[in-house]
Amino acid sequence: MTLTTENTKKTSADFSRHFDFLTKDFGLRMRMENYSISGGDRYIRVLRNQYVQVELAGDQNYFHAEIRRLIDGEPRPFSDDQNNIGFEDLAVLATNNNYDHFDFYPASAGWTKVLENTAELFKKSKEVFTTDMWVDTKRIDELKDEEFFKKFGFRPSDNKGKLTFFELIKRHALKLLDNGYKLTLDSSELPPYDDESSTTKIIIERADKNVKISQRDWRDYYFIYYIEVNGQKQFEIDLNNYPDMETAVKVFSEQIDKLTS
């Protein structure tokens, strides 16, 4: 496969320059390269040894690295957040969450500086890449929890074990798989560097219908969900307009049944 743009050529060269230690010192080997995903040309490099799979993604303006623990020689699904971590999770753990996010954000630090900072972070965490000692994901969650509490006054862990609105309607929608539909997209199983993963969504299909159930936006309108059938929006719900989640789930589920019949 050939590179599709000068952008991806530069990104590939930059990854080779800044992360060559992953192969030379950490024993990872190139497994795969991709040059486009949802959203356009974003270069992906996948490397693996017997302990982890590392996925580097970027386009000169965006960067992400995912570290995936191997179990029985294979990475776990992306939805398994105990065995897949983003590169900034290493920074959270290494600094007790006392680090500057913007050091890893190309729009602030610059593309080259972000790669330099990430490479240094990886080198300081060598044992994660070269031994069977996986990261302390529980500690990472605790540190994030405390930071969230400082900013917003409550901890995400307070809702641990409780299904979210989307999880409840997704559970309802997936019952349709027994009625001729098949699941063709589930955002929770996509790589974090795929643009389609930014909002929670599923797509189910049968011969005559393509049904998308999605959050409108992950940042500004995360409380609005909609149903789209064959490319046309048919129903939208604003959770702020309902007294409780149970009522909102009931209304939305009834629309799912109506629009998928």
**pLDDT digit string, tens, across residues 86-121:** 999 999 999 999 999 999 999 999 999 999 999 999
pLDDT value at residue 17:
97
Q: Region 68-97: what's the mean pLDDT?
A: 96
pLDDT value at residue 40:
63
Check whether 79 has a pLDDT greater than 70: yes
Last residue of a domain, one of 122, 152, 182: 152
What sign does the CA torsion over 195, 199, 203, 209 have? Answer: negative
pLDDT value at residue 178:
86
Domain that holds residue 148: 6-152
Last residue of a domain, one of 123, 152, 181: 152
Residues 69 and 174 in one domain: no
pLDDT value at residue 208:
93
pLDDT value at residue 86:
97
**pLDDT digit string, tens, across residues 138-195:** 999 999 999 888 877 777 777 676 889 999 999 999 999 988 999 999 999 999 999 8
pLDDT value at residue 193:
93
Check whether 22 has a pLDDT greater than 50: yes
| H-assigned helices in the chain | 6-18, 21-24, 87-95, 106-109, 111-124, 126-130, 137-152, 165-173, 245-260
Cα 48 to Cα 118: distance, rounded to the nearest angstrom? 17
Amino acid (1-letter code) at residue 203:
I
Residues 105 and 184 in one domain: no
With respect to residue 1, please indicate whether it lies within any of the assigned structural domains.
Answer: no
Number of structural domains found in the chain: 2
Tell me what percent of the residues of the chain surpass a pLDDT of 70: 95
SS3 210: strand
Last residue of a domain, one of 99, 123, 152: 152
With respect to residue 135, please indicate whether it lies within any of the assigned structural domains.
Answer: yes
SS3 96: coil
Cα 35 to Cα 52: distance, rounded to the nearest angstrom? 22
Mean pLDDT score of the chain:
92
Do 91 and 85 form a contact (C-beta atoms < 8 A)? no
Q: Region 13-29: what's the mean pLDDT?
A: 97
The pTM (predicted TM-score) of the whole model is 0.87
Q: Which residue would you say has higher pLDDT here, 251 or 221?
A: 251
- What is the distance of C-alpha 219 from the center of its chain? 14
